[in-house]
């Protein structure tokens, strides 16, 4: 096989078809990896997962060989632990890395990855519209597979420049869409992992300890994985949009939103950050209220978000097709997550 990508490219984008083919061509067995010559690969694999847990971002290192081989290992570690929170957190962290690397590419690598790894119908075509310079156009079907997951109204189809079934994009848009596609791909379950040598099991145990502690510290509900904002129910998305736009929301909405966000896994600081846009923002007061709802202050009760009936009486319901036969926004969130995951798998 003639590789069109350099080793560095494969290391930067180990999810690509070319990288997978290269790794397969090495014919490595899991038993091979416990030999001393692969110790740095093993350690980097573990580190990738630890970075995802600790900072939510997987860094990029210069050693191309180690970087490339450690990717499938990290996935193996994640898969072996079989934890939804970890799977999602790892997928998000790797996707952020991809986004950043692609944004800084000087050439047409994004377009090649989009075509060859994800099969997108994408073309290079420069166009200046309304003061924005676009470099690519993507088939609207491909666009709509991932763009609806983004909250920002910039991504709404009605706000995009369209041309005969194609959406004009900037390079950073393509990077963002590819990174989203990577995230969903990494969230797919890979099936039962193989029997692992004791040395690898020990490494996985160190990740397990970190994972369990983090989930305990953050009060992560077992039921939910890492927060997926694009799958929030419409009522929650509406409240968030109002805050993003610098507007204010009622006391009932603040309670509903905060209790929902805490329940699905956002930290107190992340919730405070969301409220920092409101005109009357008072950090101390907001912290007190959020910590109270999270059960850190007061009687230690972690509040459950209100039901759909209650939200309806407050005028906060924004019912849409995802809300059929549900009585709680958390159920709506879980249902959208499942639908999205199935939808992406079918592609
Ligand atoms: S039905 Fe429930 S989940 Fe859906 S928008 Fe209304 S309150 Fe939110």
* Predicted pLDDT at 274: 84
Confidence of residue 227 (pLDDT cuts 50, 70, 90): low
Find the mean pLDDT for residues 45-55.
Answer: 94
Q: What is the pLDDT of residue 223?
A: 45
Distance between Cα 325 and ligand 1 center (Å):
10
Nearest CA to ligand 1 atom 6: 317
| Three-state secondary structure readout of the chain | CCCCCCHHHHHHCCCCHHHHHHHHHCCCCCCHHHCHHHHHHHHHHHHHHHHHHHHCCCCCCCCHHHHHHHHHHHHHHHHHHCCHHHHHHHHHHHHHHHHHHHHCCCCCHHHHHHHHCCCCCEEEEEEEECCEEEEEEEEHHHHHHHHHHCCCHHHCHHHCCEECCEEEECHHHHHHHHHHHHHHHHCCCCCCCCCCCHHHHHHHHHHHHHHHHHHHHHCCCCCCCCCCHHHCCHHHHHHHHHHHCCCCCCHHHHHHHHHHHHHCCCCHHHHHHHHCCCCCCCHHHHHHHHHHHCCCCCCCCCCCCCCHHHHHHCCCCCCCHHHCCCCCHHHHHHHHHHHHHHHHHHC
Among 318, 322, 325, 333, say which to mutate for ligand 1: greatest number of ligand atoms within 8 Å of CB: 318
Residue 169 has pLDDT above 50, yes or no: yes
Q: Is the pTM of this model over 0.75?
A: no
Q: Which two tokens stand for residue 169?
A: 């994009």
For ligand 1, atom 8, which residue shows the shortest CA distance? 235
Ligand 1 atom nearest 333 alpha carbon: 3
Ligand 1 pocket (Cβ < 6 Å) reads 233-235, 308, 311, 317-319, 323, 329, 332
- Residue 347 pLDDT level (bands cut at 50, 70, 90): very low
Looking from the CA of residue 311, the nearest atom of ligand 1 is 7
For 183-187, 240-244, 281-285, which range has the lowest pLDDT when averaged over its residues? 240-244
Q: Which atom of ligand 1 is nearest to the CA of 318?
A: 5
Most distant pair of Cα atoms in the chain: their distance: 65
Which pLDDT score, from 0 to 100, does residue 85 have?
79
What was the pLDDT predicted at 242? 80
Q: How far is the CA of 342 from the centre of ligand 1 (A)?
A: 22
- What are the extents of the domains in the chain? 7-93+193-218, 109-183, 229-346
pLDDT at 81: 93
For 243-257, the pLDDT digits (tens) are 876 677 899 999 999
- Contact between 137 and 150 under an 8 Å Cβ cutoff? The reply is no
Atom of ligand 1 nearest to the CA of 329: 3
pLDDT at 1 over 50: no
The predicted-structure confidence for 7-27, as pLDDT tens digits, reads as follows: 999 999 999 999 999 999 999
pLDDT more than 90, % of the chain: 53
| Measured torsion, CA atoms of residues 105, 109, 111, 114, in degrees rounded to the nearest 10 | -110
Residue 224 has pLDDT above 70, yes or no: no
206 has a pLDDT exceeding 90:
yes
pLDDT attached to residue 246: 66
pLDDT at site 258: 96
Share of the chain above pLDDT 70, in %: 92
């Amino acid at each position: 096989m003639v590789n069109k990508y350099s080793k560095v490219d494969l290391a930067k984008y180990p999810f690509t078809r070319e990288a997978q083919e290269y790794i397969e061509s090495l014919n490595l067995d899991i038993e091979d990896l416990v030999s001393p010559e692969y110790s740095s690969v093993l350690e980097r694999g573990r580190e990738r997962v630890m970075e995802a847990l600790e900072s939510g971002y997987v860094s990029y290192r210069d050693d191309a060989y180690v970087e490339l081989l450690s990717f499938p290992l990290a996935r193996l570690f994640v898969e072996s632990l079989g934890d939804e929170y970890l799977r999602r957190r790892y997928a998000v962290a790797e996707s952020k890395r991809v986004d950043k690397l692609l944004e800084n590419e000087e050439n047409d690598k994004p377009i090649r990855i989009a075509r060859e790894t994800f099969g997108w119908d994408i073309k290079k075509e420069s166009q200046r519209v309304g003061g924005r310079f676009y470099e690519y156009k993507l088939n609207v079907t491909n666009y709509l597979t991932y763009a609806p997951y983004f909250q920002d109204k910039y991504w709404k189809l009605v706000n995009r420049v369209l041309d005969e079934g194609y959406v004009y994009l900037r390079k950073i848009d393509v990077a963002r869409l590819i990174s989203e596609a990577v995230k969903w791909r990494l969230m797919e379950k890979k099936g039962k992992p193989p029997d692992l040598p004791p040395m690898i099991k020990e490494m996985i145990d160190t990740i397990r300890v970190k994972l369990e502690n983090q989930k305990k510290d953050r009060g992560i509900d077992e039921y939910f994985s890492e927060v997926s904002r694009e799958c929030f129910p419409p009522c929650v998305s509406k409240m968030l949009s109002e805050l993003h736009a610098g507007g204010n929301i009622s006391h009932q909405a603040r309670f509903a939103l905060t209790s929902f966000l805490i329940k699905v896994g956002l930290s107190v600081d992340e919730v405070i950050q969301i409220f920092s846009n409101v005109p009357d923002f008072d950090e101390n007061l907001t912290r007190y209220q959020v910590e109270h709802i999270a059960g850190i202050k007061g009687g230690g009760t972690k509040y459950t978000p209100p039901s759909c009936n209650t939200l309806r009486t407050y005028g906060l319901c924004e019912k849409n097709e995802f809300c059929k036969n549900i009585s709680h926004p958390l159920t709506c969130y879980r249902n959208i997550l499942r639908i999205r995951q199935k939808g992406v798998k079918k592609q």
